[in-house]
Amino acid sequence: MIWFLLALFVVAVLVIAVAGSRLGRSSLWVAAVPMAATALWSVTLLGSDEVVEAGFSWVPGLDLEILFRVDGLRAVLSLLVAGIGALVCVYAVGYFSSSAAGMGKFAATLLAFSWAMVGLVWADSVWTLFVFWEATSITSFLLVGFKNTDPVARTAARRALVITASGGLALLAGFVLFVDAAGTSVLSDITPVTGSTATAAAILILVAAATKSAQVPFHVWLPGAMAAPTPVSAYLHSATMVKAGVILVALIAPAFQETDVWKPLGLTFGLVTMIWGSVGALRHVDAKLILAWGTVSQLGLLITLLAMGTPKATFAAISILVAHAVFKAALFMVVGEVDVRAGTRNINELSGLRRSMPITFGVAVVSGLSMAGIPPLLGFPAKEAAIEAVLGLADTELLVVGGLVIGGAVLTVAYTTRLLLGMFGGSAPMAERTVAPRRPAMSAPQVVLATGSVAGFVALGWVTDVVRTASVIVEPDAVVYTLYRWPGLTDAFVTSMIVVALGVLLGGLLARRTVLTGPAARGAAFADTVIDSIGRAARGIAGVVQHGSLPLYLATTVATVGAASAAFVGEIDTDALYLWDNRAEAVLVVMIVAAAVAATVVSSRLGAALVLGAVGFSMAGLFVALGAPDLVLTQLLVETVIVVGFVLGLGRLATKFPRPTRLWLAGRIAVSVVIGAAIAVALAGAASSPTGQPPIDELAQSAVDEGGGNNVVNVILTDTRALDTLGEVIVLLAVAVGILTLTRRRATTPAPAKVPAAVDLPPSGSDPQPIASETSP
Amino acid sequence: MIARTSPIVALAVSAVTPIALLIAAYALFVGHNQPGGGFAAGLLLGAVLVLRTVSGLQEPKYAAVLLAIGGVIVGVDALSPLLWGEPLLDQFVVSWDVPVLGTVKTGSALLFDLGVVAVVVGLVIALLEGFGASDLAERGRTPTDSEMKARR
């Protein structure tokens, strides 16, 4: 089933890729199919102890495996990923206008992302997880930059990619160290590891999770990613991709609980992020940014709970993860609908939408209250569990972690209140703005999600089962906990009522105060500056190294070869060297030397080409004398073609060489002497110290036995060492394609076209120099 | 055009062509046991094409097609053993009895060599095309850069 579903995704992506332009907006329906199928299958596994596994050995020599495992935890996660994905597809049908361009591309990328995310949550080998992790980075880059003509979206996409991809590198390093320390790459087999390698791995993996899950200070990409169309935000930035880091922490936590750094570092990331995120949510006026910062805050809470490592906290984290995905996706959809229908997301400009958009208002209230943790909604028992978990701490931890988590909860209630009041409150009718009619495709998914928040509370027994089964995968001791509809007047309940009261008060006060614009995105600007300066530095270095002067390239190469061969001077053993095997060689060598010398003094270009040909043909003679018919044949043919090539090329040059300046002449002599000496030294050095028997017998034997041929040379080329030949063929292909493109382009384009930059860099300073195709000395 | 002004050249080149083709085919097939092979066969064909082009009997064409065919053949030959769980580039040898020739033994290396032939010939044609060899045949010299520019 795992293979079938993953293949279904790939097939659907291909279908959309091929037929996307014809399908238009309907591609989204195609995209919803594999997601819905995965969600349905995940539902059947919820809360059961059944484990489905699949896998194969990818590269046996490296112990690389593709392994999937669907258990209680992963079924919950894939239900969220695929289920919300399917709802987002439906929502996007309403969100985009029927004439929107690039729908096929959008649907295919969204589906590819969903596939990567499903693969990520199902992965049971760290390497499988890594591959899908990177795939989510790339597909999300494409989705954030979907409006690729908008410079804001492009910068935001680049920022998100650079930050999450740097995290990917940290993750790779962390996994390498982890596998080294743990001795296994299978996630379901991990056991606690300690020691310095494990510590380094813990830090790297936590940093990777922090980049993906937008923990301070890596959070700067998430608000910027709101440049994406709202369906993308609702999907990637609420339910799925930002959860990848949390999921990673949950899956790998059992291994690192006992290292010294895991808990303090995780708590620091989580607590700082939670507070800073909710402060950010209180400062912004764009409803989508408020939600984005709220997401940052919630992710901080999740990381905090998982880093605490107590069974109760783990249980609470899984509960919140589920509740958050449901209410946050709904809220993003609400904001997207308000944006589309009212034409703005600024809470200063919005007012009184509760009358004109009643269904959306209902969804927003239900989901918002769930976010604030108010009964009778799913967010309430989840938040109760979290508060109970932090109240269970002792001493300093209770003060710091408990205080901050409860403070964060107050701020969460406050920004929720402010958001709801800002969008739907107020009685003044909105001047200048009319509200467009409702689109059913946008409303339906929101209603489903809002119903989910309610139904989750009603069917809390079932939800508890599901969450408990999932938590036990991470922390076996979590089996004793339950979510309560009505906990009684416990400390946690009293605390959370105080939290709600304070939060509503604070939020109400802040909503009255009019803030005209949100704070400037300084962190994002700083990240962009860093990225830009890396790009500038790279271009500077490339400009120096790739100067485009052929003589300088040649001189550099020769100098390197000369330096490398200098080491072999000491290896030369004059006793082992002898002059010739037979006298014909002497004659031929004299001919070669004479022709080579002639090539340096002859004044006409054609003459030079011909004496070079003479060198080559004499060389063929040398091969005859040495008894190597294959080399003779090849050498003769190569020389023939080379001479013809020279004749053709010379047609467009002057017949005589230009008269060289003294410096130029000296340089050329130096280069020639160095390369001649280097090759001579290397050959003499190699001939002086033969090691062991030449492999000719072995090669001859294998040529007959395995290659099925008697010509050892050719069997080596096509069989024994065919990989080398394959490489040479690829070089020939590259050269030929180069010749064709350079010459055809010159014949058709008026001016040397600029090399198109692979990455969109903002215009700055100098353009990259086009590589000179011709530099005449 | 040399071939038009000199019947000797035209006849000689035309007469040499089939012989060279035959030799190239021979070099290709015996390559496994005697001097020859794909590279040599490709260069032989390339040399014939050079002769035909500079004497004006033929236009250098289809370089890209040949390169693509060669690349695909070599790539498929290299990768296909993986499908059967064999290592990359593993050779597959077959031998069968043919009435006149007796037992013929060949293998996937021949296919590999055919790919090499196509790539080498494609490269030679690309060179001829790139340097304006048909102009050489037409007017006795290749176009200068300024002429290239003027043609645009």
Residue A777 has pLDDT above 60, yes or no: no
Which tens digit of pLDDT belongs to each residue from A278-301? 999 998 889 999 999 999 999 999
Which tens digit of pLDDT belongs to each residue from A656-682? 888 888 888 898 889 999 999 999 999
- Residue A127 near residue A65, CB atoms below 8 Å: yes
> SS3 for B110?
helix
Q: What is the mean pLDDT of residues A172-176?
A: 95
pLDDT of residue A429: 61
pLDDT of residue A42: 93
Task: Please give the DSSP secondary-structure letter assigned to residue A239.
Answer: I
- Residue A441 near residue A367, CB atoms below 8 Å: no
Burial class (CB in 10 A: 0-12, 13-18, 19+), A117: buried
Report CA dihedral (A42, A44, A46, A51) to the nearest 10 degrees: -80
Residue A127's pLDDT band, with cuts at 50, 70 and 90, is very high
Which of A57-61, A345-349, B3-7 is most confident? A345-349
Which of A133-147, A504-518, B102-116 is most confident? A133-147
Task: Fill in the amino acid letter for A514.
Answer: T
Q: What kind and span of H or E run contains B81?
A: helix B63-83
Lookup: tokens for B90: 């593993």
Residue B102 has pLDDT above 70, yes or no: no
pLDDT of residue A774: 38
Reported residue count of chain A is 777
Least confident of A148-157, A226-235, A664-673, A765-774: A765-774
Chain B 23-42, residues with CB within 8 Å of chain A CB atoms: 27, 30-40
Residues of chain A with Cβ-Cβ distance to B122 below 8 Å are: 736
CA distances, A604 to each of A607, A651, A653, A656 (Å):
5, 12, 11, 4
The reply to whether B113 touches chain A by the CB within 8 Å rule is yes
CA–CA min distance A635, chain B (Å): 9
Pure H helices in A567-628: 583-601, 605-626
The reply to whether A731 touches chain B by the CB within 8 Å rule is no
Which tens digit of pLDDT belongs to each residue from A417-464? 999 988 888 766 665 567 788 888 889 999 999 999 999 999 999 999
Residue A43 to residue A296: CA distance in whole angstroms: 28
The reply to whether A490 touches chain B by the CB within 8 Å rule is no
Which tens digit of pLDDT belongs to each residue from B20-33? 999 999 988 887 77
Residue B107 to residue B104: CA distance in whole angstroms: 10
pLDDT of residue B147: 66
> SS3 for A186?
strand
Residue A409 has pLDDT above 80, yes or no: yes
Residue A602 to residue A597: CA distance in whole angstroms: 9
Residue A378's pLDDT band, with cuts at 50, 70 and 90, is very high
Cross-chain residue pair B39–A743, CB shorter than 8 Å:
no
pLDDT of residue A761: 41
The reply to whether B63 touches chain A by the CB within 8 Å rule is yes
pLDDT of residue B151: 58
Which tens digit of pLDDT belongs to each residue from A505-533? 998 888 877 777 778 788 889 999 999 99
Lookup: tokens for A560: 């390197």
Residue A767's pLDDT band, with cuts at 50, 70 and 90, is very low
Residues 6+ apart with CB under 8 A from A593: none
Residue A178 has pLDDT above 90, yes or no: yes
Residue in the block written with tokens 């819905």: A36
Residue A137 has pLDDT above 90, yes or no: yes
Residue A53 to residue A1: CA distance in whole angstroms: 9
pLDDT of residue A248: 93
Q: What is the mean pLDDT of residues A130-156?
A: 92
Q: What are phi and psi of A690, to 5 degrees?
A: -70, 140
Taking each helix axis from N to C end, the angle separating A27-45 and A2-23, rounded to the nearest 10 degrees, works out to 160
Residue A672 to residue A560: CA distance in whole angstroms: 13
Residue B75 has pLDDT above 60, yes or no: yes
Q: What is the mean pLDDT of residues A359-377?
A: 91
Which tens digit of pLDDT belongs to each residue from A596-629? 989 888 888 888 888 998 999 999 999 998 888 8
Q: What kind and span of H or E run contains B93?
A: strand B93-98
What chain B residue is nearest to A706 in terms of C-alpha separation? B91
Residue A508 to residue A615: CA distance in whole angstroms: 92
The reply to whether A715 touches chain B by the CB within 8 Å rule is yes
Residue A129's pLDDT band, with cuts at 50, 70 and 90, is very high
Of A143 and A60, more confident? A143
Chains A–B, number of C-beta pairs less than 8 Å apart: 153
Pure H helices in A61-102: 72-95
Q: What is the pTM of this model?
A: 0.76
Mutate to test the interface with A, among B23, B26, B28, B32 (most CBs of A within 10 A): B32
pLDDT of residue A428: 65
Q: What is the mean pLDDT of residues A465-483?
A: 87
Q: What kind and span of H or E run contains A59?
A: strand A52-59
Average predicted confidence (pLDDT) for chain A = 86
Check whether the bond before A376 is cis (ω within 30° of 0): yes
pLDDT of residue A345: 87
Residue A222 to residue A293: CA distance in whole angstroms: 8
Residue A316 to residue A672: CA distance in whole angstroms: 75
What chain A residue is nearest to B67 in terms of C-alpha separation? A733
Residue A772's pLDDT band, with cuts at 50, 70 and 90, is very low
Lookup: tokens for B117: 């032939």
Residues of chain A with Cβ-Cβ distance to B116 below 8 Å are: 725, 729
Mapping DSSP onto H, E and C, the string for A696-721 reads HHHHHHHHHHHHCCCCHHHHHHHHHC
Which of A51-65, A124-138, A576-590, B64-78 is most confident? A124-138
The reply to whether B141 touches chain A by the CB within 8 Å rule is yes
- Residue A606 near residue A655, CB atoms below 8 Å: yes
Residue in the block written with tokens 């003094």: A601
Question: Of all residues in chain A, what percent carry a pLDDT higher than 70?
Answer: 95
Residues of chain B with Cβ-Cβ distance to A710 below 8 Å are: 32-34
Nearest CA to B121 out of B59, B56, B70 is that of B70
Q: What kind and span of H or E run contains A69?
A: strand A64-70
pLDDT of residue A776: 38
Residues 6+ apart with CB under 8 A from A237: A222, A225, A226, A228, A292, A295, A332
Q: What kind and span of H or E run contains A681?
A: helix A662-688
Residue A67 to residue A504: CA distance in whole angstroms: 47
